[in-house]
Amino acid sequence: MKIGIICYPTFGGSGVVATELGKAMADKGHKVHFITYNRPFRLDHYHENIYYHEVNVPDYPLFEHLPYETALAGKLVDVTRFDNLDLVHVHYAIPHASAALFAKNILAESGKSLPVITTLHGTDITLVGRDNTYAPVVEYSINKSDGVTAVSKSLKEETEEFFNIKREIEVIPNFIDFTRFSKLDKDHFKKAIAPNDEKILIHVSNFRKLKRVDDVIRVFNGVRKEIPCKLLLAGDGPERANIETLCRNSEYTDDIRFLGKQEAIEELLAVSDLFIMPSASESFGLAALEGMACRVPLISSNIGGLPEINIHGKTGFLSDLSDAEDMTRNALLLLKDDDKLNEFKEQAYLQARKFDIETVMPVYEKYYEKVIQDSKSNAK
Ligand code: GMT
């Protein structure tokens, strides 16, 4: 197949899923065309089946806001015509789905069919997509796409609860490429972070409010009161400055390291003992699943799609939203008992194995084929 992929190229779950899926499709022999405004950060090597088309938005004195959606639609029309795409798969509804549908309609004028698959990732439904400004466009785009997938059961349900959905939404979960995320031997690195064999807690996110990084600090302070440990904070975003202030006022400030955006996240996960994800909203929690793939158990809130990956009392623990005390208790339960911790590490890994890209990629491939076939039948 000749597949177009539209995604955000930045650090963030939806871009990671889009890129890893595209790479896996390319390995399988499909031609994959990424269409976005920057090279996706995990698209880091040459591949004979992968193409990258950059969307540039020409400026004009009249524009106070650059019309990215129009430029994206125009680029998609151009690539589809030249490379004869069989379908386009857009990740994150806003503004990718409506731009793709616009391109589809333009192409239809000249008799070219371009099926559009939209994958809903999270905040495009649970947060920003609910804004009155975007909601009618999101709803229309979901109903008019040729195929729609959601990354968890919970996200599908939330979509159907909030929007007036008149079509089937397929749940296809996110996945892990185990060639990248398998526990690496990084003893020397561990020694550098925790020279006295302290336990290492980790949090990875884009530091938005909904990630509740302040709860991570509360949990860490509570744990640190009882046992020697270190906290790694990877990622960056709007809340980072506030969190740094919070940490500077903590008596354990020397045990907390801000690492900023990290590409080789697997190396950090490889030395970690516990992942903390207390989010207020999380459709799936890919960053945490990457941790589990590296045998890092998960202390998380019990919202959204998190209970679909984190099995309470087995791969980690689930707590009510904002209950940092319970999260602290659960973290200590594991960190104070090496046998239990090792047992949870193994279970976390086995659970992550269920989301192996080798299993999930063919599900997407079949779905692509079905959507293309259905579009052909509907056109007759
Ligand atoms: O919230 C983020 O970390 C970024 C966001 C994105 O779209 O890049 O993540 C969403 O999609 C990820 C991949 O499907 C999911 O693993 C995240 O849970 C989801 N984030 C939220 O729902 C808040």
- Ligand 1 lined by 286 (C-beta under 6 Å): yes
Q: Give the percent of the chain with pLDDT over 90.
A: 94
Rounded-to-integer distance, Cα 346 and Cα 265, Å: 20
What's 2-175+357-379's CATH class?
A: alpha beta
Say yes or no: CB of residue 17 within 6 Å of ligand 1. yes
| pLDDT beyond 70 at 12 | yes
Residue 183 banded pLDDT, cuts 50, 70, 90: low
Ligand 1 centroid to Cα of residue 336, in Å, is 31
Check: CB of residue 76 under 8 Å from CB of residue 57. Answer: no
11's tokens: 């650090």
Amino acid identity of residue 313, one-letter, is: G
C-beta 92 within 6 A of ligand 1? yes
Joined tokens for residue 228: 């020697």
347 ligand 1 Cβ < 6 A? no
pLDDT, average across residues 265-275: 95
For ligand 1, the distance from its centroid to the CA atom of residue 283, given in whole angstroms, is 6
User: Which residues make up the CATH 3.40.50.2000 domain(s) of the chain?
Assistant: 2-175+357-379, 187-353
Does the beta carbon of 152 lie inside 6 Å of ligand 1? no
The single residue listed with the structure tokens 């884009």 is 206
pLDDT at 11 over 80: no
Q: What is the mean pLDDT of the chain?
A: 96
Reply yes or no on whether the pLDDT at 184 is more than 90: no
**CB-based contact 315:292 (threshold 8 Å):** yes
Question: Does 283 contact ligand 1 (Cβ within 6 A)?
Answer: yes
pLDDT, tens only, 75-119? 999 999 999 999 999 999 999 999 999 999 999 999 999 999 999
- What is the model's pLDDT at position 10? 86
Distance 145 CA to ligand 1 centre (A): 21
Which residue has the least CA distance to atom 4 on ligand 1?
A: 12
Q: Is the CB of 297 under 6 A from ligand 1?
A: no
Read off the pLDDT of residues 127-158 as tens digits, 9 standing for 90 and up.
999 999 999 999 999 999 999 999 999 999 99
Q: What is the pLDDT of residue 112?
A: 97
Q: What is the pLDDT of residue 187?
A: 81
As assigned by CATH, the class of the 187-353 domain is: alpha beta
Instruction: Give pLDDT tens digits for 332-349.
Output: 999 999 999 999 999 999
Q: What is the CA(144)–ligand 1 centre distance, in A? A: 23
Please, what sign has the CA dihedral across residues 228, 235, 258, 176? Answer: positive
Q: Using CA positions, which residue lies closest to atom 13 of ligand 1?
A: 13
